[in-house]
């Protein structure tokens, strides 16, 4: 139990985990009904619920860096709650904030927040050390020190990745001078494309990381840089846009985002005018019948990631949902990464809109679903991430990451089986390929391990 003389315990710190993006925001109860929010996203629903449950008003909103994976909620908190925004002076944000440099302190009313310059993930990155008098309670490390690793340093371009990796090394060395008992509260965690490794733990301590983080065990800066840069995989395309949007300040939301009801005729018209069609129904429902050209992206925690990776942000989105799916959840996921041009959803009484489409005589396409034992001799396209494919894949399978499928031309022949780990990404890939004219595609409803178990054959490893 984290506790100090003023009564601050770990119960005063509320982590708010976004499973889809793999990130954590934090709400800190400062006493007297006041709270500090750290790295809050534009989707403030969980934060507001936690604050209301404890009778808190957010009076400070701190951002550790210009986020690339979500739009900040700090500006919204300033507008709605009167919160003071705390952020790096080096970030040159274009909206009112308290600009902090290395060593600057903010009196939170009993506790103190000290800014520590920890560049690497971004140039202007700050960590925030929470102090009770002279005692270090914990440090919000954002995209600097994370559980088991350090956040990626290539988001400002491959040409700066090594330079920033060296800055990251120095930042981590600085953080490890804090007492071993100091809690570490990172923003990026398992599931984040900011290079967090898999694992259940989202918070840690300085001492635990000194003992277990392989990057901190690197004997010198060059070894650290090679290890960090060698661990970097791909990241969603929208990461290249959000840093600047966060610097300028996201548009304020005057109401919760939502989806208007659209008739089949309105959908026809919007698609003719260039709108993108997203079918968020489960894989089996999409396979059984969908509007030609629709992008399959089942509504789940990872929905926002794939919208941001595969679709442009400046075109209207038309959505198809099932009758039991939450339109508000989809709208919030789109909003947190800046996809605000939601034209609406195809409306219908029985099948979330597809019944109306059929009744209107709209065209329907299907995609075959196959189980592991039915792959047989058909060509296989594996669309998992590089690390997943390298760890084990069906012999002879070709490989293109889903995120790069749109840019890689003809990567699958007619009749191919598309696979991932469970079928969601594979169906997204199949929908892209079908829209490109590839025919007779099938989607494997399970993963490589299921194929090995069903067939008794060994997987191949390596690229």
Split the chain (463 residues) into runs of 10 and give each run's mean pLDDT. Answer: 54 94 96 97 98 98 98 98 98 98 97 98 98 96 96 96 98 98 95 78 96 96 97 94 97 96 96 97 97 98 96 96 94 97 88 88 97 90 95 95 83 91 97 94 96 94 86
> In the block, which residue shows the tokens 């990404």?
425
Which H or E element spans position 23?
A: strand 23-31
Could you tell me if 205 and 10 are in contact, meaning their C-beta atoms sit under 8 angstroms apart? no
- The pTM of the full predicted model, rounded to 2 decimals, is 0.94
Q: What is the DSSP string of 250-282?
A: PPPPSS-----EE-HHHHHHHHHTT-EEEE-S-
Separation CA 287–CA 37 (nearest Å): 42
User: How many Cβ atoms from other residues are within 10 Å of residue 350's Cβ?
Assistant: 11
Separation CA 394–CA 383 (nearest Å): 12
**Which phi and psi angles does 401 have, rounded to 5°?**
-60, 140
Maximum C-alpha span of the chain: 72
Angstrom distances, CA of residue 436 to CA of 276, 405, 441: 14, 11, 12
User: How many Cβ atoms from other residues are within 10 Å of residue 309's Cβ?
Assistant: 23
Q: Quick one: pLDDT at residue 4?
A: 41
Q: Quick one: pLDDT at residue 197?
A: 78
Q: Quick one: pLDDT at residue 350?
A: 67
């Amino acid at each position: 139990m984290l506790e100090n003389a003023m009564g601050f315990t770990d119960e005063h710190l509320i982590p708010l985990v976004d499973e889809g993006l793999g990130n954590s925001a934090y709400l800190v109860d400062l006493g007297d009904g006041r709270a500090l929010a750290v790295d809050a996203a534009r989707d403030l629903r969980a934060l507001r619920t936690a604050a209301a449950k404890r009778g808190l008003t957010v009076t400070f909103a701190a951002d550790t860096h210009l986020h690339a994976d979500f739009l900040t909620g700090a500006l919204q908190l300033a507008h709605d709650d009167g919160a003071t925004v705390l952020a790096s002076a080096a970030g040159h944000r274009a909206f009112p904030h308290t600009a902090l440099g290395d060593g600057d302190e903010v009196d939170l009313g009993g506790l103190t927040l000290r800014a520590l310059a920890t560049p690497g993930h971004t140039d202007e990155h700050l960590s925030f050390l929470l102090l009770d008098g002279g005692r270090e309670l914990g440090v919000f490390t954002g995209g600097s020190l994370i559980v088991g690793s350090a956040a990626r340093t290539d988001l400002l371009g491959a040409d700066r990745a090594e330079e920033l990796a060296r800055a990251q090394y120095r930042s981590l060395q600085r953080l490890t001078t804090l007492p071993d008992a100091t809690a570490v509260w990172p923003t990026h965690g398992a599931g984040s494309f900011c290079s967090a490794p898999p694992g259940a733990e989202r918070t840690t301590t300085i001492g635990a990381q000194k003992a277990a983080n392989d990057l901190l065990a690197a004997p010198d800066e060059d070894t650290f840089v090679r290890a960090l840069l060698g661990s970097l995989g791909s990241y969603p395309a929208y990461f290249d846009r959000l840093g600047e949007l966060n610097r300028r300040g996201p548009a304020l939301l005057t109401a919760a985002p939502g989806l208007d009801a659209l008739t089949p005729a309105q959908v026809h018209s919007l698609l003719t005018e260039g709108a993108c069609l997203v079918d968020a129904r489960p894989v089996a429902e999409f396979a059984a019948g969908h509007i030609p050209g629709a992008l399959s992206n089942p509504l789940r925690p990872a929905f926002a990631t794939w919208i941001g990776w595969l679709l442009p942000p400046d075109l209207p989105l038309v959505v198809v949902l099932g009758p039991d799916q939450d339109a508000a959840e989809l709208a919030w996921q789109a909003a947190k990464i800046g996809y605000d041009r939601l034209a609406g959803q195809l409306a219908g009484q029985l099948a979330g809109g597809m019944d109306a489409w059929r009744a209107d005589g709209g065209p329907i396409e299907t995609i075959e679903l196959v189980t592991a034992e039915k792959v047989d001799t058909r060509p296989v396209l594996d669309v998992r991430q590089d690390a997943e494919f390298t760890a084990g894949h069906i012999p002879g399978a070709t490989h293109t990451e889903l995120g790069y499928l749109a840019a890689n031309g003809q990567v699958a022949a007619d009749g191919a089986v598309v696979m991932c780990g469970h079928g969601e990404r594979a169906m997204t890939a199949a929908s892209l390929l079908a829209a490109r004219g590839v025919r007779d595609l099938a989607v494997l409803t399970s993963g490589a391990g299921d194929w090995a178990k069903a067939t008794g054959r060994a997987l191949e490893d390596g690229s």
